[in-house]
Structure 1
Amino acid sequence: MIRSLPLLALRTFVEVGQRGSIKSAAQALSVTSGAVSQQIRLLEDRIGLALFTRHRSGLRLTEAGARVHPLLLQAFEQMQVALQTLEVIKARQTLTVSTVATFAASWLVPRLGRFNQRHPDIEVRVEATSAVVDMRRDHVDVALRHGLGDYPGLHVMPLMAPVLVPVASPDWLAKGIELREPEDCLCYPLLHDSDRADWSLWLAAHGVAQDPRAERGTAFEDDFLLIRAAEAGQGLALVPLQYAQEEIAAGRLVQVLDKPWPARFAYYVVTQPQALQRDTVRAFVEWVMEEAQGGVDSGLYPVGERE
């Protein structure tokens, strides 16, 4: 039983079989005629069969050689196709971006077409997750993170801060609820995100003294869940304006007070320290920073700007 055969000898056999000449095969393989003859002898010795017979016009395949030559020729052609596929994959520029689902759905993904038009040669893969990824282990090129910007060992660039506005269902407001000043909100059920900090910060920013009622009420892990609860008439929600614009425009939510305020937490562009030296990463970061500059009209402000 033949357990393995040398790949070079098989390749040499295919070339000689195609050309019927040791000299021509040697030229195709960029080796000497002696090297080709040696590989053919090696292969014939290993399998114990003659693969060629000599004629005045050159070499001809034996019956055994003629039966296996088409199969080996096809195998090497398939290997060539596979190698070309790997070259295409190697040449293709890909970029993995990680961010939270709400930011991806409401801000990043709707704009991503503009990046694709500018850089059609870069394929972007968006991972939407609330987990803080390990950029090296998880092979993430750029993270758009929501937090305070404290990410040790990574390169951090401020991107934007979501503007928070109080909203409620119009049906809920129709029950005779009156909201003229920020402190009036404390008289009604408040809906929170998981940190339960935004209402206190928003009220303090508008001159309302600290009040324990600001931390009471149902909390939700995701901003979209918070918006759905407000739509369902469960109380007042303080949400990023960007996330609620569609509901406000459709009349499913109402901005109850014209008192926006940038959130304590902001969005940051985070990369590994040397990542910006790569063309793909630098191109995406430059583009996303440009997009953020237009955030004032969409309820998102550059980090550092305050009313």
Structure 2
Amino acid sequence: MGAVLPLLALRAFSETTRLGSLKAAAERMGVTPGAISQQIRLLEDRLGVTLLTRSRYGVQLTEAGASLYPGLSRGFGQIESALLDLQALTCSNTLTISTQPSFASSWLVPRLPDFNAQYPQIDVRVQSTAELVDLLRDPVDIALRHGLGDYPGVESIPLLAPVLLPVASPGLLAGGPLLDQPQDCLHYPLLQDADRADWSLWLQAHGVEPDSRSRRGPSFDEDLLLLRAAASGQGIALVQAQHAEEDLASGRLVVALDRPWPSRFAYYLVARKENLERPHLQAFVGWIRGQLELEQLPALTDHS
């Protein structure tokens, strides 16, 4: 192959194989799919073999590609791990936290001044994104994730189980049918989560058999968007109670029906196992658990 390794081409092949498409690899590497395809062709020309075949269903490894990929994957994983370890040494006083925009704005950020006061030597960096980060590859110390807690290769610490609460604008309810029982919500437009699942589950939890109305209505992938739509009178939103605190306090929203139900999902603090031994991560874990205890939020018990 020669003395100089074509690292860019090797990584393009490795990412395409790992993610299953040229487009996903391009987004990961910050280039165009055409650039990824060109790098793979250059690598194949240099090696004299075909590594990938392409179809409308994605990419498939050839026998040569299947032989090459495992070693490359381990190699790039070791490189990224070494870089993360170096970053941990050079940024030992920085704590990078990734979390969803709704949780960051409604819960985490308003409480961070308390953490900063207790640990002024730790610089906190909050990354607000709806995308899941890869803690084994991305320069993130902690992810606060909303899910089922099953995250392979990393440690997950259960934090709290949010409560789903139906909220609406006062104006919408003032001009509509009386809300006395959970099934009465079906007489109003329902604002849906991205999966159109929460309303059906909430109704079932209250003994109501959901029908087609329970899945109708505009859907949103963030509670913040659901709250804005509800405040503008578009319908009733089923949101996590802590996300609605500010709007309820201001009167922009009211509780449509006082029948909360804990969500089947919960919040977890997720980190690489070796990182949890670092003092500033331990400080944050202890702090956030203390906040939950002080506020008496519905915490989860550790299931590990």
Question: Contact conserved, 1:99 with 1:127, CA < 8 A, in 2?
Answer: yes
Question: Contact conserved, 1:295 with 1:301, CA < 8 A, in 2?
Answer: no
Number of the residue aligned with 1:109? 109
Number of the residue aligned with 1:254? 254
Number of the residue aligned with 1:162? 162
Distance, in Å, in 1 between the alignment partners of 2:115 and 2:248 is 28
AA matched with 1:210: P
Number of the residue aligned with 1:238? 238
Question: Contact conserved, 1:295 with 1:302, CA < 8 A, in 2?
Answer: no
- C-alpha offsets along residues 133-168 of structure 1, whole Å, 9 cap, x if unaligned? 111322111110111111011101111122111111
AA matched with 1:213: R
For structure 2, list consecutive stretches of 5 or more residues without a partner in the other structure: 1-88
Number of the residue aligned with 2:198? 198
Match of 1:303 among 297, 300, 304: 300
Instruction: State the 1:92 CA deviation.
Output: 5.6
Number of the residue aligned with 1:138? 138
AA matched with 2:280: T
- C-alpha offsets along residues 214-253 of structure 1, whole Å, 9 cap, x if unaligned? 1111101221111111111111111111111221122111
- C-alpha offsets along residues 8-35 of structure 1, whole Å, 9 cap, x if unaligned? xxxxxxxxxxxxxxxxxxxxxxxxxxxx
Instruction: State the 1:204 CA deviation.
Output: 1.2
**TM-score, normalised relative to structure 1:** 0.66
Distance, in Å, in 2 between the alignment partners of 1:240 and 1:94 is 30
Question: Contact conserved, 2:93 with 2:122, CA < 8 A, in 1?
Answer: yes
Question: Contact conserved, 1:160 with 1:268, CA < 8 A, in 2?
Answer: yes
Post-superposition, which runs of at least 4 consecutive aligned residues in structure 1 deviate over 4 A?
89-92
For structure 1, list consecutive stretches of 5 or more residues without a partner in the other structure: 1-88
Instruction: State the 1:189 CA deviation.
Output: 1.0
Distance, in Å, in 1 between the alignment partners of 2:244 and 2:225 is 11
Instruction: State the 1:273 CA deviation.
Output: 1.5
Tell me which moved more, 126-135 or 239-248.
Answer: 239-248
Q: How well do the aligned residues superpose, as a CA RMSD in angstroms?
A: 1.8
Q: The residue matched to 2:161 in structure 1 has which SS?
A: strand
Instruction: State the 1:115 CA deviation.
Output: 0.9
Distance, in Å, in 2 between the alignment partners of 1:234 and 1:145 is 28
Instruction: State the 1:212 CA deviation.
Output: 2.5
Number of the residue aligned with 1:120? 120
- C-alpha offsets along residues 102-136 of structure 1, whole Å, 9 cap, x if unaligned? 10111111111111111111111111111111113
Question: Contact conserved, 1:161 with 1:303, CA < 8 A, in 2?
Answer: yes
Cα–Cα, structure 1 residues 276 and 92, in superposed 2: closer, same or farther, change >3 Å?
A: closer
Distance, in Å, in 1 between the alignment partners of 2:294 and 2:158 is 15
Distance, in Å, in 2 between the alignment partners of 1:182 and 1:125 is 41
Question: Contact conserved, 1:162 with 1:242, CA < 8 A, in 2?
Answer: yes
Between the two proteins, what is the percent identity of the paired residues? Answer: 56
AA matched with 2:269: V
Question: Contact conserved, 1:224 with 1:243, CA < 8 A, in 2?
Answer: yes
Number of the residue aligned with 2:207? 207
Distance, in Å, in 2 between the alignment partners of 1:197 and 1:295 is 28
